[in-house]
A and B are shown apart, each in its own frame.
Chain A
Amino acid sequence: MALVKEAIKEAIKLIGYSFPKAEKIVIKPNMCYYWDYSTGQTTDPNFVAALIEILREEISPDIEISIIESDASAMKCKYAFKYLGYEKLAEEYNVNLINLSEVESEQVKVKVKDENFEFLLPKIIKNSDLRINVPKMKYMAFTKISCALKNIFGCNPYPKKFKYHRRLNETIVALNKIMPFELCILDGIIVYGSMTSKLGLVMASEDAVAMDAAAATIMGVNPKSVGHIVLAEREGLGSASFMTRGASLDYFKDKFPKRKLSDRAIEFGYKLVCALGLDKRLV
């Protein structure tokens, strides 16, 4: 963990970020499903532990830290917190574990592409002094990639998230608009692309759009082809033009286990099967 802690500190230093005075902090890891961190699909609790240590050293040992996640169509926080090791982490580090689907929220209106959307904003996020997004980087069928912007989709308290999949880009951008996170720190130590791989990447940014654009580039995806990155930039959430400091982006681009043509063919085939209504034949 010492190495990870040093890497996080280094990444924060490289972007010239200084922690503000804060009493209440929320951390949003990626806990999308019961997939162990070693698969590269969920944020490593040890990564979050290292971040908690840094926050207590840099801000104050007395800050109140809450790790947040919400129930999803297939994942229930009460089980995911246990399975993914966050319950243990919360006990060990004396932090709160919050299921956003079970806490107080308020209805908030937001405009995206001149269209009105309404979402629930959890008060714990609204009332925090500092919000830190700790995403993973991975491919996703509906949005091409998932990274910082998509991770905030998990802050929507409504559990049946599949209902938003038809308007996923707009939903992601709307949620990022109502819940702006001040700092993004990517856990790219282990990643999942065409397979699981140790990438050893820690990336920090105050701009989720820039982080997503950089992550997409590493994954071999043109950021301009990712709907929610383009839309987020257009809506003023950040800039897809980025500049990197530290290790070269090409180093990670070469190392990232990129999706093969066969993976894309299977994904296309599956979408076609669904479009033709043949998916009901699949048990």
Chain B
Amino acid sequence: MEKINLGIVGLGFIGKIHLKNCLKIKSVKVTAVADVSKKALKFAQELGVKQLFTDYHKLLDQPNINAVVVSLPTHLHASCAIEAAEKGKHIFLEKPLARNPKEGEKIISAARKNDVKLMVGYPFRFHPNFENLKKKIESGALGEIQVAHAVNIGAGPFFHRAEKVIPRPVPEWWFNKELSGGGALLDLGSHMINLTRWYFGEIRNIKAYLGYRFNFDFEDHAICIANFKSGTTAIINVGWFSQKTAVGIELFGTMGHLQSTYKSPSKAITAVQLILGKTPKFFIPYLKEISHFIDTIKEDADPMPSGNDALNDLKVIAKAYRSQVSL
């Protein structure tokens, strides 16, 4: 099969990782990129991308592009993904699918109507530690999982950004709940809800306790208690309040307990790998998820996690917000 001509829309922090990864996939040709920042476009140009757009609509108009990776701010997910679907492009969309289930449903409907693939980026699903945990649960070695504790704590959007040593501001949309759709529960909670749903199936009910340490109108931390139809109860603990990252899941089963964590690789090692042109460990789950997306296009298979899967995450999160109690 010929190479998939790919367009990347949005070259923020994650968009740049996707770009670097896509350039390493043999069956992909990164044909075009779009971003409002000229500096970001220059970054792509230096990596060999020929078509550069400040307006993503123009990228979507390119007839030769088969698929797009969309890593835009959350409020632009629906409009961009729907337009991409209508123009016949397969879509890899960064999580969360959208700001709310209503927007998410519109994206799914557009993808279905136009018969294009829709995959949502949840890189932990492609991380070896979390993949192994899934195998362990399925093997029955832990018995039945009664309780799980899922953690995703870090600085969230408030991590200190710099571009060529110049400090960069936190993008404004993160401070606007209308644009972001929510706080830490939507941003980091969607990861852990998706992961626990992958492990334990659908959630019957959920209760959220939301914290506002930093005095905004969106939560900067959340503790959720989710009851799964399978009988497992998960405590989902997410937050943007820490300078140190902690991502992991601890399982307590009737026959055993197991913990799996995602450790942030050393910044120095990552930097050395990037300078030497190697793929840092941190990039690998992102590389695997995009490779999977490309494979589903080539093989006409269903991508995982699918749009519907991500829509269910949004429905759970919406339910959690409705149940909220302030911490």
Contacts and interface: CB of A to CB of B under 8 A. Distances in A.
Contact of A79 (B16, B160, B166, B175): B175
B277 A281 contact: yes
B17 A34 contact: no
Interface string A116-141: 00000000000000000000000000
Interface string A21-65: 000000000000111100100000000000000000000000000
Interface in B4-35: 13, 16-17, 20
A88 interface: yes
B216 A34 contact: no
A269 interface: yes
Given A283-B13, A283-B274, A162 B215 contact: no
A274 B165 contact: yes
Nearest to A163: B166
B43 interface: yes
A252 interface: no
Contacts of A108: none
B198 interface: no
A75 B167 CA distance: 9
A72 interface: yes
B214 interface: yes
B271 A273 contact: yes
A18 to B, nearest CB: 36
B268 interface: yes
A83 B166 contact: no
A82 B169 contact: no
B13 to A, nearest CB: 7
Given A79-B170, A79-B175, A281 B274 contact: yes
Q: Among B16, B17, B169, which residue has the most Cβ atoms of chain A within 10 A?
A: B169
Given A34-B158, A266-B268, A74 B168 contact: yes
B319 interface: no
Interface string B310-324: 000000000000000
A73 B215 contact: no
A83 B158 CA distance: 10
A261 to B, nearest CB: 13
Contacts of A36: 213-214, 241
Interface in A100-119: none
A76 interface: yes
A247 interface: no
Interface in B184-223: 213-216
Contacts of B175: 79
B243 interface: yes
A74 B170 contact: yes
Q: Among B16, B161, B170, B213, which residue has the most Cβ atoms of chain A within 10 A?
A: B170
A200 interface: no
Contact of A274 (B13, B164, B213): B164
A282 B275 contact: yes
A280 to B, nearest CB: 7
A35 B277 CA distance: 32
Contact of B214 (A39, A82, A269, A283): A82
Contacts of B271: 269-270, 273, 282
A87 interface: yes
Contacts of B277: 281
B275 A162 contact: no
Interface string A67-84: 000001111100100110
Contact of B17 (A74, A83, A283): A283
B170 A283 contact: no
Contacts of A72: 167
Contacts of B161: 74
Contacts of B274: 281-283
Nearest to A79: B175
7 contacts: A72-B167, A266-B268, A269-B268, A280-B43, A281-B274, A282-B274, A283-B274
Interface of B: 13, 16-17, 20, 43, 46, 158, 160-162, 164-170, 175, 213-216, 241, 243, 267-268, 271, 274-275, 277
Interface of A: 33-36, 39, 72-76, 79, 82-83, 85, 87-88, 162, 266, 269-270, 273-274, 278-283
Q: Which 6 A-B pairs have the closest CB atoms?
A: A74-B167, A73-B167, A34-B158, A83-B214, A283-B16, A82-B215
